[in-house]
Amino acid sequence: MADYKAPLRDMRFVLNEVFEVSKLWAELPALAEVVDAETASAILEEAGKVTAGSIAPLNRSGDEEGCSWDNGAVKTPAGFPEAYQTYAEGGWVGVGGSPEFGGMGMPKVIGAQVEEMVNSANLSFGLYPMLTAGACLSILNHASEELKAQYLPNMYAGVWAGSMCLTEPHAGTDLGIIRTKAEPQADGSYKISGTKIFITGGEHDLTENIIHLVLAKLPDAPAGPKGISLFIVPKVMVNADGSLGENNSLGCGSIEHKMGIKASATCVMNFDGATGYLVGEVNKGLNAMFTMMNYERLGVGIQGLALGERSYQSAIEYARERIQSRAPTGPVAKDKAADPIIVHPDVRRMLLTMKALNEGGRAFSSYVAMQLDTAKYSEDKATAQRADELVALLTPVAKAFLTDMALETTVHGQQIFGGHGFIREWGQEQLVRDCRITQIYEGTNGIQSLDLMGRKIVGSGGSFYKHLADEIKGFVASADANLAEFTKPLAAAVQNLDELTAWVLDRAKSNPNEIGAASVEYLHVFGYTAYAYMWALMARAAIGKEGQDEFYASKLGTARFYFARLLPRIHSLSASVKAGSESLYLLDAAQF
């Protein structure tokens, strides 16, 4: 497998030339104080070095060794504790954290690039700081000042880790039926009892303490999701002076044996009257959790992008070196027994599909991250609200579409290797296995599609969607004539999405099954259309420069491939949506 190299040139292109993020930061005083183009460039450069040098070399060995469990203790693979210490000492765990508590305070659009790099280098490794950052976000936004001061500095510093304890054996997506209990104590704390499963980083040897965020219900809590509260439950109790005390009454009952991400500890966590502290208000736990959900779900989408990028880097190197057969038009490498496989049309189809989906995904994930930054930091209420509604609309697309495309991309990378792609030593099969979970956790992609269709489209009466549609139409209307080859098909794609959205809104009024029946295909139509917008923006930034630099010529060639070969997928998907829900209900359960 090729050594990982951070795609810094492409990241800078997206940030500086496509979106001109410095202008956004200048308009947001809170960000203008902490970041500029020079600072951002230095951060990305250093992140590229640490991920490629310290973390990427552990990817295959970590997969081979995996995590091990012994009497409640979890050991990560060789090299992980040392690499984590290096990563933590660089401040990377707290790259997006509040400066008040020791974080770097970087905008999400910078954090998104760092996330891509660490996950391309080693997804299993990247999950540990990701879960810590998610826990920190909920604590920062909902915990008391005392709890923030007690926990956040060490979590941002990577001295302590974090986990999110939501799922139970009988309660996955439907958190309203969780059974974990929280008993109030006289001193204001709570005793937490119950079992949580699929807990990423619930136990490990990377840090001296793990701060669990646990969803639980008080004895008098109302039924359903309105009765859920959120608690900080430390693995090791923290004394008033910040030192560590006794172990809390909790433990790891086992770890899962998984298809992929084997170096990430996926734990069964048992809480046996463990001491916990309320985060936010009683029965408002889901509100606190959803604070981090938009960030985490975008983060999972970026994981998919990251794996696709790593697969592409290996595939393109292999395709240039592996010789098999001759080009259809005649010998290219006349001094060799055969031509490199990159001359063959089908190999080029796969490579260009990978490239187009990766680069489109990078632009799209950065666009969503910019909306998160605008929603968080804008001082103009209307601007912040529009960005917040765009985030709500685009988050399920970012999570589901990026990861669905990532599986296609990693499989293409494996296919380019032929038989070698099926062999462990080449690394491509690991990327396929690791990618598969990204379509499942943080809400399966089917659930994301329902969220988009049911809550964000139908639930808003189409108003959230109108923000994006109007923006794209404005771009098309103002574009120069030299962009017509991109804006004309983009305009047609948006019109198709307009019509499809109106069709589903109308059908859902009389048949609620239409929402679920349309949701997955609709999300994919939405995703391909959003990527078309991204590619048109990238084409605008590159056109006219192709004679100066091969980078821009490559960008325009990939844009043309996307519009010619990938965007047309929307037509068959749209036909599937308009076929309606009837065919899904022709069989009784016994007939399947």
Q: How many domains does the chain have?
A: 1
213: Cβ–Cβ under 8 A, 6 or more apart, which residues? 135, 138, 139, 162, 163, 164, 165, 230, 231, 232, 233, 279, 289
| Domain contains 426 | no
What does the DSSP 8-state code read for residue 56? G
Residue 64 annotated in active site? no
Buried b (16+ CB within 10 A) or exposed e, 205-229: ebbebbbbbbbbbbeebeeeeebbb
| 459 located within any domain | yes
What secondary structure, in 3-state letters, does 326-382 show? CCCCCCCCCCCCCCEHHHCHHHHHHHHHHHHHHHHHHHHHHHHHHHHHHHHHCCCHH
Task: Single out the catalytic residue among 115, 168, 296, 442.
Answer: 442
**pLDDT given for residue 287 in this prediction:** 87
Q: How many CB atoms lie within 10 A of CB 189?
A: 18
- 514 domain residue, yes or no: yes
How large is the average pLDDT for residues 221-233? 95
What does the pLDDT read at residue 175?
Answer: 82
Task: State pTM to two decimals.
Answer: 0.97
* pLDDT tens digit sequence for 276-334: 999 999 999 988 888 888 889 999 999 999 999 999 999 999 999 999 999 999 999 99
Eight-state DSSP code of residue 179? -
The boundaries of the domain holding residue 560 are: 445-581
* pLDDT tens digit sequence for 493-543: 999 999 999 999 999 999 999 999 999 999 999 999 999 999 999 999 999
pLDDT band at 1, cuts 50/70/90? confident
Confidence band of 172 (pLDDT split at 50, 70, 90): confident
Q: How far is CA 64 from the centre of its chain?
A: 24
Residue 451 and residue 463: Cα distance in Å, rounded?
15
Tens of pLDDT, residues 103-153: 999 999 999 999 999 999 999 999 999 999 999 999 999 999 999 999 999
Q: Quick: pLDDT tens for 395-428.
A: 999 999 999 999 999 999 999 999 999 999 999 9
In a domain, 358, yes or no: no
pLDDT tens per residue across span 25-35: 999 999 999 99
Question: At residue 200, what are phi and psi to the nearest 5 degrees?
Answer: -65, 125
In a domain, 558, yes or no: yes
Distance between CA atoms of residues 84 and 118, nearest Å: 11
Asked if residue 174 belongs to a domain, the reply is no
Please write the tens of the pLDDT for every residue from 427-441. 999 999 999 999 999
| Average confidence (pLDDT) over 215-235 | 95
In a domain, 345, yes or no: no
